[in-house]
Structures are given as C-alpha cells and as structure tokens.
Amino acid sequence: MPAKRKEHTSHLGSPAIEDYLEQIHNLIIAKGYARVVDIAKNLGVSQASVTNMIQKLDAEGFVVYERYRGVILTEEGGKVGADIARRHEVLTRLLAGFGLDPKTVHEDVEGMEHHISRQTLDVLTLLMEELEGNAVLMRKLKRKLAGLS
C-alpha cells in the first residue's frame, strides 16, 4: 500500500519545494548567498519558475526574499534544506563507495532523498560510516558486486 505521508516533492519532472530548499542551502554554504540565476541553473529550470517558487516558499515561511539581498532561508527553511542536503550526501557516499556510475547514483539519490525518515537516515549513515572505515568489508562486498554483473 502506498504511504500517505505528505511530501514537499513531486517527482513529476518539475523540482519541488524540497529540491529548491536543498539547492538554496547548498548555494548559501558554497557562496554565502543564493541568486535566482544560480538556483535556476542548478535546477535546470527558467528564472521565471524560480521566481514563482520563491514567492510560494516565502508565503509558506521557508524563505525571505529581498530583491537586492537575494533569498534567505528561515529557520524552518534552513532545517528542511540542510536535512535534504544531508540525505543527499549520505546516500551519495554510500552508493558511490561501491563504484556505481555517477549518473545512476545521482538519479537514484535525487529520487530517494525525499523518502527518508530520520530513523532510516541514521541507518544509512551508520552503514556509510562502517563501509568507509572498514576496508576489509568493503573489499569483500565490492568483489561480490562485481560477480553479480
């Protein structure tokens, strides 16, 4: 039975709230500010779409938009953005550690990252840390993985 959990995400081609907040978070971390043009570029959408979504995010209390200062995350927006960025990182490191091709990792991560509870994130983080710190286990699993393809 499909879960009825409310999600800030669509997966129907157009990036949803969680993707915007993740991207704004990443830009602020990397550059200190998030410009519409950079958000548009990173999400592969038009600047008009970004402006529309930012108005929606502002109305919903996730960001504050000021014409000359750009987009600022509220505490709630910052929490969601950082959370998705963390899920993105953990999933990516876990899968990339096995040597999967980056495009596949990226596509899977972009989909999966919206469906991960705190508990599941804890499990995936533990697995990632264990594998990154346990070369013997990683070697064993990679050998098995190579045998599957």
Task: Report residue 19 CA to chain centroid gap.
Answer: 6
Nearest to 23 by CA among 64, 71, 66: 71
Distance CA 65, CA 13 (A): 25
In the three-class reduction of DSSP (H, G, I as helix; E, B as strand; rest coil), residue 98 is classed as coil
Binding of residue 15 to a second copy (CB under 8 A): yes
Q: Which two tokens stand for residue 120?
A: 């599941």
Q: Which two tokens stand for residue 54?
A: 């930012």
Which alpha helices (H) appear in 12-134, and where do they start and end? 17-31, 36-43, 47-59, 75-96, 102-112, 118-133
88 binds, among Mn ion, a second copy, none (CB under 5 to 8 A by kind): Mn ion
Binding of residue 116 to a second copy (CB under 8 A): yes
Question: Which CB atom, from 2 or from 32, has the smaller least distance to a second copy?
Answer: 2
66 binds, among Mn ion, a second copy, none (CB under 5 to 8 A by kind): none
46 binds, among a second copy, Mn ion, none (CB under 5 to 8 A by kind): none
Nearest to 47 by CA among 56, 38, 55: 38
Interface mask toward a second copy for 117-136; x: CB under 8 A: x-xx-xx--xx--x------
Binding of residue 47 to a second copy (CB under 8 A): no
Q: What number of chain residues touch a second copy (CB under 8 A)?
A: 49
Distance CA 51, CA 47 (A): 6
Residues that bind Mn ion (CB under 5 A): 88, 113
Residues that bind a second copy (CB under 8 A): 1-5, 7, 9-13, 15-16, 19, 23, 42-44, 94-95, 98, 100-101, 104-108, 110-112, 114-117, 119-120, 122-123, 126-127, 130, 137, 140-141, 144-145, 148-149
